[in-house]
Amino acid sequence: MARGRRSAPGLIAALVLIGGLSGACQGASGDQPPDPAVQKVELGRHLFYERRLSVEGNRSCGICHEPALGFTDGFVRAVGSTDEVHHRNTLTLTNVGRREALTWGAGAPDSLEEQLLIPLMGEHPVEMGMANQMDAALDELRSDLIYERLFHEAFPESEDPFTLERLSEAIAAFERTLVSQTSPFDRYVAGEEDALDAAARRGLELFFSHRLRCGSCHAGPDLDQPTEEGEIVARHGWFNIGLYDVDGQGAYPERDQGRFEVTGLQEDRGRFRTPTLRNIELTGPYYHDGSGASLADVIRNYAAGGREVLGGPNPGDGRDNPHKSDLVRGFEISEQEAEDLEAFLRALTDWEMVEDPALADPWPRD
């Protein structure tokens, strides 16, 4: 894409994104709180990184959603406090405050306050493992001078704010501050033409081109929602992208069939939420089960119209999966174009956000 000139698809996409972003920004600025609300966020930050909220003292929300990894953990599939392996890859918390569905398959609570109780106290699988430990943990926090101050400043009306409800309220308040809006892509969309280099600009154009159509699913302010022609407001989407076809009839590996487990509908086999692409450079490995090693692999699979698995435990040709989305059709892409596309995806990394001290771990570490 030449500087100062946008092609039609790029322009449409940019308009959609600008609309979405400005709405999101209004939402964020509208949340500018009075002091107790500020203190609630600060309390939430401390709790987010609090290892005493895991049964073995080795996990916290922030350890498994690490800023340097785009608020993910680097695992293929998450490993909990007791070393139990989760069946899914950890999703980023980038811009989680404006997300409709909070998990890969949904069927889970749709508020942050409720959702965070699942990793905190869930037993299948154990993530932080606090199911039978919360009362003791709250007692311990109550005796900590830092928390004594923070809880009371955040909830001045509460006689005893050391409750699970207040704790989840504070963590959720902090999570809503995990906002990315200063990536090179955001600055480019806002009119700073030099924010993207030539390769990233070419990649942007490819991303929204009719040939690749990445934006058919990855659009909206967080590049996580589908839009259709003429549609300005993005809607939520679930897609089978042809990663597996274990039995020749569309099955995914036994441990995870996606939306099917929520709806029971055959057409929902292998359907998962479209993830945001913000900070995507940092959030690998990819896909719902972490089975995509690199961005290059992911691009290769989309170009092929799905993934053919030749070895390992789940061989089969995902390209032929009968439940695969019609939008995953495959496309021709040269080596140079694939590199440009990657350059654009890297331009979604918001270093200002991931290195923001206000979002960092407040606790001193060894």
Site residues for another protein per CB under 8 A: 58, 73-77, 79, 83, 85, 253, 285, 289-294, 297, 309-314
64 vs 171, beta carbon nearer another protein: 64
- For the bound state, the minimum distance from the C-beta of residue 57 to another protein, rounded and expressed in Å, comes to 11
Burial 318-349 (b: 16+ CB within 10 A, else e): bbebebbbeebeebebeeebbebbbbbbbbbb
CA 152 to each of CA 37, 158, 170, 276, 312: distance values in angstroms, whole numbers, following the listed order: 12, 7, 12, 35, 54
Burial class of residue 164 in the structure, from the number of CB atoms within 10 Å of its CB (0-12 exposed, 13-18 middle, 19+ buried): middle
Q: Could you tell me the smallest distance in angstroms from the CB atom of residue 288 to another protein? A: 11
3-state secondary structure 44-87: HHHHHCCHHHCCCCCCCHHHHCEHHHCCECCCCCCECCCCCECC
Minimum CB separation of residue 234 from another protein in Å reads 29
Compute the least distance from the CB of residue 305 to another protein, in Å: 16
DSSP state of 137: H
Pick the closer one to another protein by CB: 152 or 307: 307
Smaller CB separation from another protein, 132 or 294: 294
Residue nearer to another protein on the CB measure, 297 or 320? 297
C-alpha dist (Å) from residue 147 to 131, 169, 240: 21, 15, 45
3-state secondary structure at position 322: coil
Secondary structure class of 308 (helix, strand, coil): strand
Which lies closer to another protein via its Cβ, residue 17 or residue 246? Answer: 246
Q: How many residues does the chain have?
A: 366
Element (H, E) at 156: none
In whole angstroms, the minimum distance from the beta carbon of 194 to another protein comes to: 30
Q: How far is the CB of 363 from another protein (least distance, A)?
A: 15
Q: Least separation, in Å, of the C-beta of 253 and another protein?
A: 8
Residue with smaller CB distance to another protein, 64 or 101: 64
Question: Which residue, 314 or 321, has its beta carbon nearer to another protein?
Answer: 314
CB distance 10 to 206 below 8 Å: no
